[in-house]
Structure 1
């Protein structure tokens, strides 16, 4: 699978710090400026596959607030697809500025565990997960039709033990199964107890954190990825400090020793919404610089 023309391409996991605009127009669309800043900063840092910045709310409400059957944080009826695309406008803006963009969806299991069931329509979260998957599949097709390079499904809940991963895997497969665009499954946290279940998901890329969870590298070193790529978290999103280029380079080289340059997609561990703009930009810029140094070592 070729995502870009460069080896060890760089990307982001998703969210970027929110930089709101000011003035009359900003009052009508206060987060448009935040999208523009997020996109511009990623391009300026040299990211190969950017996102729209995911600046319009937290990862749960950004989706659930648009889905019929959900009111606030409660499920009050059968969950249906959104009447209009949720992330398409911001994604199209990113595509107008950069040729390679990833669409990003919060996964059905993570959404379900952020909601309270207050209807007899669903007996449990597992039933809800599958309907959420059908709703998200509609959004995914909108993103595919817009021309995104890949679609990422975020399931941080998978590493916590709180979710039924078998059902969660079925839900992610339901989304990936209707798409031609490569699908990436992002799971942060410690993977030791869940990795086998996760790797049974039918996606093209698995995105994990390795900077803040270096033990994941040993866990993955014993697994057969069967030709799938690894989104390799090499920047610690939880640390406000901007890692040096050399420190990031060493993390990338540790990954190359286990995988191969052709199998890796480089990114931060997670989204960076909680970082300052300067911190987030500095981390991305140094990651790009480190990637270039490692690429040079593997140039034929």
Structure 2
């Protein structure tokens, strides 16, 4: 995809401009054309920051997504979008994120909206960087839906969502998307206590129609809600089963975990390329290019440069924009330092 080793890439999300968050809370004061203009402007801002940093791979910053899952639920019929929140007050954490009732069979007659996002990115992005789309996998997407008689557990909900996600992936290929990340952080969060072979089966059935038709990756992290993880932060429980994911690249959270278990990336590199999180999106320490270069050199002990990409640990939506810009600039500059040494 690039003419040099150590690709610089991102997971998907980018901070909203402050004015976009304000406008989203006062949509009754804007017309439909105003809203479309705001969305375009927000994507232009996200693209600008990524292109200015010099990234090899960019996204639209997920500027149309209110939340990683919530926005997709708006496209799925059969959901009563009345939030059931178990805890409203106290320290921010994942248990404050509400769940939704399923009131009829799940379906998405108009898709999940990712195709429209990608078409906008095609229209607004400059030539040069690779354009990537990010789609949540069905297990992660099922996480905030409450089981009912038709769908008695999370796996039943996952199976209902699987063809919906699969159709979205096929539709992305049809409009020319050649780089897709299927985000399944819930699988990595639950790998320590669930059947990892079952996860692999779910994932591979989801992506089966697009394998070999694009550069396909998955993102495995331990959650990031207002700077907090949710999962058991260890890669070891994912192995060896997750090595059977039929992807070209796997994204792994490392910087926030102080590069614990870094040696395990060697196992992934035997089967696929590896994108290592070298930027901590949960910290406001701004990594220097030298910090990033030192981290990349650690990675090169286990993965050859032509199979290594670098990225933030997770999406940047929970990081202030001023910090996100500086972190991306350092990441690209650090990769350039190491690339010059090769």
Matching residue within 306, 313, 321 for 1:277: 321
For residues 71 and 183 of structure 1, the distance between their equivalents in structure 2, rounded to whole angstroms, comes to 32
Matching residue within 176, 197, 214 for 1:166: 197
Distance apart, 1:272 and its partner CA: 0.9
For residues 226 and 258 of structure 1, the distance between their equivalents in structure 2, rounded to whole angstroms, comes to 10
Matching residue within 7, 10, 14 for 1:9: 7
Q: 1:138 to 1:226 in 2, by over 3 A?
A: same
- Tell me the equivalent position of 1:65: 74
For residues 224 and 154 of structure 1, the distance between their equivalents in structure 2, rounded to whole angstroms, comes to 17
Q: 1:34 to 1:82 in 2, by over 3 A?
A: farther
Describe the superposition over 1:156-195 as per-residue Cα deviations: whole angstroms up to 9, x where unpaired: 1123226553333222212321001122111113212223
For residues 197 and 152 of structure 2, the distance between their equivalents in structure 1, rounded to whole angstroms, comes to 17
Asked if 2 retains the 8 angstrom alpha-carbon contact of 1:129 and 1:167, the reply is: no
Q: Is 1:210 paired with 2:254?
A: yes
Distance apart, 1:78 and its partner CA: 2.4
Q: 1:142 to 1:248 in 2, by over 3 A?
A: same
For residues 149 and 181 of structure 1, the distance between their equivalents in structure 2, rounded to whole angstroms, comes to 4
Q: 1:291 to 1:78 in 2, by over 3 A?
A: same
For residues 290 and 275 of structure 1, the distance between their equivalents in structure 2, rounded to whole angstroms, comes to 20
- Tell me the equivalent position of 1:178: 209
Partner SS, residue 301 of structure 2:
helix
Q: 1:216 to 1:149 in 2, by over 3 A?
A: farther
Q: Is 1:79 paired with 2:106?
A: yes
- Structure 2's unaligned 5+ residue stretches are 24-28, 82-99, 223-233
Distance apart, 1:85 and its partner CA: 5.0
RMSD: 2.1
For residues 55 and 103 of structure 2, the distance between their equivalents in structure 1, rounded to whole angstroms, comes to 41
For residues 69 and 13 of structure 2, the distance between their equivalents in structure 1, rounded to whole angstroms, comes to 13
Asked if 1 retains the 8 angstrom alpha-carbon contact of 2:273 and 2:307, the reply is: yes
For residues 156 and 250 of structure 2, the distance between their equivalents in structure 1, rounded to whole angstroms, comes to 25
Asked if 1 retains the 8 angstrom alpha-carbon contact of 2:189 and 2:221, the reply is: no
TM-score, structure 2 as length reference: 0.80
For residues 74 and 165 of structure 1, the distance between their equivalents in structure 2, rounded to whole angstroms, comes to 27
For residues 60 and 112 of structure 2, the distance between their equivalents in structure 1, rounded to whole angstroms, comes to 14
- Tell me the equivalent position of 2:120: 93
Describe the superposition over 1:4-42 as per-residue Cα deviations: whole angstroms up to 9, x where unpaired: 222111111111110145795785344433222111111
Distance apart, 1:151 and its partner CA: 0.8
- Tell me the equivalent position of 2:166: 137
Q: Is 1:147 paired with 2:176?
A: yes
Deviates more, 1:259-268 or 1:138-147: 138-147
TM-score, structure 1 as length reference: 0.90
- Tell me the equivalent position of 1:220: 265
- Structure 1's unaligned 5+ residue stretches are none
Distance apart, 1:91 and its partner CA: 1.6
Paired positions, count:
294
Deviates more, 1:95-104 or 1:78-87: 78-87
For residues 117 and 236 of structure 1, the distance between their equivalents in structure 2, rounded to whole angstroms, comes to 35
